[in-house]
Amino acid sequence: MINSTLRCFTQKGPHVSRHFLRFAARFSVASLAAVLSMAAMACSSAATGAAEAPNALTTASPVVVGTVQADSAAPARGNSPVAQAPADPALPLTFSGQEALRHVKHLAETIGSRESGGAKEREAARYIEGQFALNGYQARQQPFQFEMYEARSSSLQANASGAASIANSPLHFSQGGKVTGPVVRAGMGRPEDFPAGGLKGAVALVERGTLTFTDKVTNAAAAGAAGVVVYNNVAGRFDGNLGRSGSTIPAVSIAKEDGDRLAGLLATGGLEVTLDVDAGKQQLQSQNVVAQAGDGCRVVIGGHYDSVPAGPGANDNASGTGVVVELARVMKPVAAAKQLCFVAFGSEELGLWGSRRYVEGLAPAEKTAMVAMINLDMVGVGETWRLFGSDSLSGPALASAQAAGAVVDGFSGEGRAGGGGSDHASFIQAGLPAVFIHRQNDPNYHTPEDKAQFTRPELLETAGKIAVELVSLLVSG
């Protein structure tokens, strides 16, 4: 929602507060026009009692790309902060897409792929911490641990003449281990499907369906099985998940055809198999990088800096990280900076671990004080801007995009599908309002081709401008 003082400016004529002038001064011409027309609609709707003016605006007036008067031509500078004496301390410095791109290049080219929990991720954390400190922030690393399950390999060999090894997949979170034993059919894996005398080290062959994989494997283990093979109930193979509780014995899935073949071999006499699952949980260490100028986080601006091991992660997500670091630079002179926290999240690719740990570490008072989290993930490539997040922030977010001159393909609120796959989700799940700024359709997503050469500085600029406008709407001072 628009700032209340502003709302009734139009009705009360020249009653223009110093606060409003200061407020207005922070806006570019485009955003001021957007805000004034929103105000006009808000005030008129206030008169008529209809509260959702911002939304009305978003549909009424489409927005255009490329009106951003940013210094995208600014030459890249070493690693010293851009020396630009702000004309007015109330105004943010000009966001530079080239500066954000410089960070993208350092992360994706100089450092390269930044696998979660790995040495390159640590190197990137040091770089980001250094950049925040260079721009005058108290910067620190927030280390955290998380448990990662990894299935490295598995094999299933029937010890019958002529029987080749059987294609299989470990059930996700299956216990690792190598067992050899007779195969015993056990129906769907219900308790009553196991022989009364138990299985004493045998490998249970059960069919998919009716029960969860967890229940089937737990029942088999309780009956004394050393391992479990679950065969599909429709043609082909499948991947099954046991959930984080995992299992105490190795368990794999196979195709229906192979299940039927094993059952056939069993019918003609005893059958023994060797099941070998190389998998297990490991504790990984990672870190968030947190920068703040004051002692509170009214608005958290963040993005993850790790990447998948498959590629250098320029767009996913050195682009968002570069924008976060550049936002920290441009917002530093503004008094409001004392209410902002900038966070580069580690280990997002393995399950949003950095943002989950960050949110878990917030005290109740910190949660109460937080009015928004702004998440930037994949903002340097792609076709259209998409905004996702908390319904309560849809108005300010769309208005900010308008002010930044971005054509936005709508706002997907909490009820709508999609948009859950990034760090804002950790905040929303904890009841904290968040917005996800994103560009759709990157052809190089999670591939070796996700390179800095494809990252467009003008898009980084627009993402930065959307965030600057949004902060200006959410934080006064």
In terms of CB distance, is 99 or 316 closer to Zn ion?
Answer: 316
Nearest residue (CB) to Zn ion, 149 versus 445: 445
Give the distance, in angstroms, between the CA of residue 232 and the centroid of all CA atoms in the same chain: 33
Q: Which two tokens stand for residue 340?
A: 């902002």
Q: Is the dihedral of CA 372, 373, 374, 378 positive or negative?
A: negative
CA 9, 10, 16, 19 dihedral sign is: positive
For 466, residues 6+ apart whose C-beta sits below 8 A from its C-beta are: 385, 397, 400, 401, 404, 406, 437
d(CA 462, CA 278): 46
Binding mask 317-356 for Zn ion (x = CB under 5 A): x---------------------------------------
Structure tokens at 332: 């530093």
CB of 317 to Zn ion, least distance (A): 4
Least distance in angstroms from the C-beta of 319 to Zn ion: 9
The distance of closest approach from Cβ of residue 463 to Zn ion in the complex, given in angstroms and rounded to an integer, is 13
Q: Which is nearer to Zn ion, 101 or 352 (CB)?
A: 352
Residues 384-413 that bind Zn ion (CB under 5 A): none
- Using the minimum distance from each CB to Zn ion, give the nearer residue, 6 or 352: 352
The residue (of 115 and 377) whose beta carbon lies closer to Zn ion is 377
**Interaction of residue 455 with Zn ion, rule CB under 5 A:** no
Count of C-beta atoms within a 10 Å radius of residue 358: 26
Beta strand 177-185 pairing with 169-170: unpaired
CB of 438 to Zn ion, least distance (A): 9
Closest by Cα among 218, 211, 250, 265 to 233: 211
DSSP letter at 175 equals P
User: Smallest gap, in angstroms, from Cβ of residue 148 to Zn ion?
Assistant: 17
Helix and strand element counts for the chain (H, E): 14, 13
**Which listed range, 159-167, 255-263, 326-334, 374-382, lies at the site for Zn ion (CB under 5 A)?**
374-382
Which residue stretch of 66-74, 290-298, 373-381, 428-436 sits at the interface with Zn ion (rule: CB under 5 A)? 373-381
β-pairing, 372-376 with 434-439? parallel
Is the Cβ of residue 232 or residue 315 nearer to Zn ion in the bound state? 315
Maximum CA pair distance of the chain? 96
Segment near Zn ion (CB under 5 A); pick from 100-108, 150-158, 372-380, 454-462: 372-380
Among 26-34, 231-239, 251-259, 371-379, which window interacts with Zn ion (CB under 5 A)? 371-379
Phi-psi region of 40 (alpha: psi -120 to 50; beta: other; left: phi over 0): alpha
Closest C-alpha among 149, 150, 122 to residue 354? 122
> Residue 132: what residue type?
F
Least CB distance to Zn ion at residue 263 (A): 44
10 Å CB burial of residue 342 (0-12, 13-18, 19+) is buried
Segment near Zn ion (CB under 5 A); pick from 190-198, 325-333, 375-383, 462-470: 375-383
Q: Which residues pair with 279 in a beta bridge?
A: 151
Number of residues this chain uses to bind Zn ion (CB under 5 A): 3
Residue 216 or 304 having the CB closest to Zn ion = 304
- For helices 97-105 and 319-331, angle between their N-to-C axes, nearest 10 degrees: 130
Give the residue with the Cβ less far from Zn ion, 26 or 114: 114
CB of 355 to Zn ion, least distance (A): 11
Q: Does 377 bind Zn ion (CB under 5 A)?
A: yes
Cα–Cα dist 473/38, whole Å: 12
Identity of the residue, 45 or 317, whose beta carbon is nearer to Zn ion in the bound complex: 317
Cα–Cα distance between 433 and 473 in angstroms, integer? 14
Cα–Cα distance, 429 to 420 (Å, whole number): 10
Considering the complex, state which of residue 317 and residue 339 has its C-beta at the smaller distance from Zn ion.
317
The pair of structure tokens assigned to 97 is 């897409």
For Zn ion, the closer CB: 20 or 445: 445
Question: Which 99-128 positions form the footprint of Zn ion (CB under 5 A)?
Answer: none
Nearer CB in complex with Zn ion: 302/396:
302
User: Measured from the CB of residue 306, what is the shortest distance to Zn ion in angstroms?
Assistant: 9
Listed in sequence order, the residues at least 6 apart from 380 whose beta carbon sits closer than 8 Å to its beta carbon are 101, 104, 314, 315, 319, 322, 439, 454, 455, 456, 459, 460, 463
Q: For residues 442 and 454, what is the distance between their CA atoms, to the nearest angstrom?
A: 10
Q: Closest approach of Cβ 344 to Zn ion, in Å?
A: 12
Q: Which residues, numbered 119-178, are part of the site for Zn ion (CB under 5 A)?
A: none
Minimal distance in Å, beta carbon 348 to Zn ion?
A: 6
In angstroms, the CA 253 to CA 165 distance is 13
CB of 446 to Zn ion, least distance (A): 9
Residues 304-323, mask of contacts with Zn ion (x by CB under 5 A): ------------xx------
User: In whole angstroms, how close is the CB of 396 to Zn ion at the nearest point?
Assistant: 23
Contact residues: Zn ion, CB under 5 A = 316-317, 377
